[in-house]
Structure 1
Amino acid sequence: MTDKTFEKYKAVIDEWFVNGFNGVKAYQKIYPKSKDKSAEANFRKILAIARIEEFVKEKREAIAEANKITIDECVSLLTSMARFDIADCYDEDGVLKPIHEIPKETRLAIEALDSDEIFIDSMVVGRTKKLKTSNRRSNVVELLKVLGGYEKDNNQKKQDNIVVFRIPDNGRG
């Protein structure tokens, strides 16, 4: 492999890291004329190259070091977000608890908290609070990816299901 090709493949991997690990889109960003099927096959070939495997490993290590986080911590965070109970956000009367009264594991699943006050003559007459939580399904899907839950499906996609039959010609030519 030439240095120029290696640099292009590194660009594909860089894009892969940026786009949420979509190999087809990463490949097509660098090779825009590529069709989905060939982009998928070529991306898999790139990932299998020893120099690229080492580049990916170094890139992951650099990201982990820069962010001081481990895979175990990420899996733990995803697990907390997948298991959170929305009831932990509310008191017995169904009123949203103050943020510091919500357990930390549940707060990890909160993506946004909007609070508005309604005034009449400079007096607060009401409050509206909106709570947006992370998508539980997405968290479970990410956990399944990390834990190999799709490995069987992934391996099935890698195989070329081609069967070759040899038919003897019995000298008839």
Structure 2
Amino acid sequence: MKVRNELTRKQQRFAAEYCVDFNATAAYIRAGYEARGNSAEAAASRLLSNVKVQEAIEQKQREIAKHCELTAENIVRKASAVAFSDIRKLFNPDGLPKPIHEIDDATAAAISSIEVGQTITDGKVKGRTCRIRLWDKNSAQERLFRHLGLFRKEHAPQQLPRKIEVVFISPDKEVVPFSNHRKAGET
């Protein structure tokens, strides 16, 4: 940790706090720096431009990623689970929702929330409700497209030619330009 020894305690704390929410101004204040008015924002910006502080932040992010097993493969796998989720996997053949412990990992990763409720009439349970919300498939697919580079120019659809020449062939096999085709058919 050569980088950390070169930083002051407050700079080290700022780097750690910045990794919490990526809010430089809030990290500056939480690190114990004095802040008056907009000075915290300006000072935090200066700290972020400090090469040693940037190195400490990058080191902390690598530590967090390693601890949480954040690898490109795991992230793509989770995004794929959302992008290609199939709502049918949440239900039994009879149409009732599967118990939560029967849902496979990929389908469970696509769920953003589950709300379970009851309908009570005259003090008796008359029915149950289950609202299942899934993460947004479109944004997950867009993230995967970007990761795979499918938005780059070489993957873009080919441009159609801007000018198309249309000609007609008359009954006597003569090529007639489009602008003259009615005249040719009238004669």
Scaled by the length of structure 2, the TM-score of the pair is 0.50
Alignment CA distance shift 1:4-1:66 (3 Å): closer
Q: Residue 128 of structure 1 aligns with which residue? A: 129
In the other structure, the counterpart of 1:6 is: 8
Q: In the TM superposition, what is the alpha-carbon distance from 1:60 to its structure 2 partner?
A: 1.9
Residue 54 (structure 2) pairs with residue 35 (structure 1) = no
Q: Secondary structure at the match of 2:46?
A: helix
Cα displacement (A) at 1:14: 2.1
SS in 2 for 1:69: coil
RMSD of aligned C-alpha atoms? Answer: 4.3
One-letter identity of the residue aligned with 2:36: K
Alignment of 1:70-109 (within 5 A): 70-86=71-87, 88-90=89-91, 95-100=96-101, 102-109=103-110
Residue aligning to 1:170? none
1:17 aligns with 2:19: yes
Identity within the alignment, %: 26
Give a deviation string over 1:60-117, Cα, whole Å, max 9, x none.
2322333333244234324533553545434677643443554432310223323345
Amino acid at match of 1:48: S
Q: CA deviation at 1:127?
A: 1.6
Task: Go from structure 1 to structure 2 and tell me whether the alpha carbon gap of 1:13 and 1:68 turns closer, same or farther (over 3 Å shift).
Answer: same
* Structure 1 pair 119–99 and aligned structure 2 pair: CA distance change class (3 A): same
**Which residue number in structure 2 is paired with residue 63 of structure 1?**
64
Native 8 Å contact 1:28 1:34 kept in 2: no
Residues in 1 aligned to 2:48 and 2:78: alpha-carbon distance in whole angstroms: 27
Task: Please report the TM-score for the alignment, with normalisation by the length of structure 1.
Answer: 0.53
Matched position secondary structure for 1:111: strand
- Map Cα deviations across residues 127-151 of structure 1 (whole Å, 9 max, x no partner): 221224345677689x59x96x9xx
Number of aligned positions between the proteins? 141
Partner residue, 2:183: none
CA distance in structure 1 between the partners assigned to 2:50 and 2:86 by the alignment:
44
**Uncovered stretches (5+) of structure 1, i.e. residues with no partner:** 150-173
Provide Cα deviations, 1:24-78, integer angstroms capped at 9, x if missing partner: 4333544532528x72x54443233232233123212322333333244234324
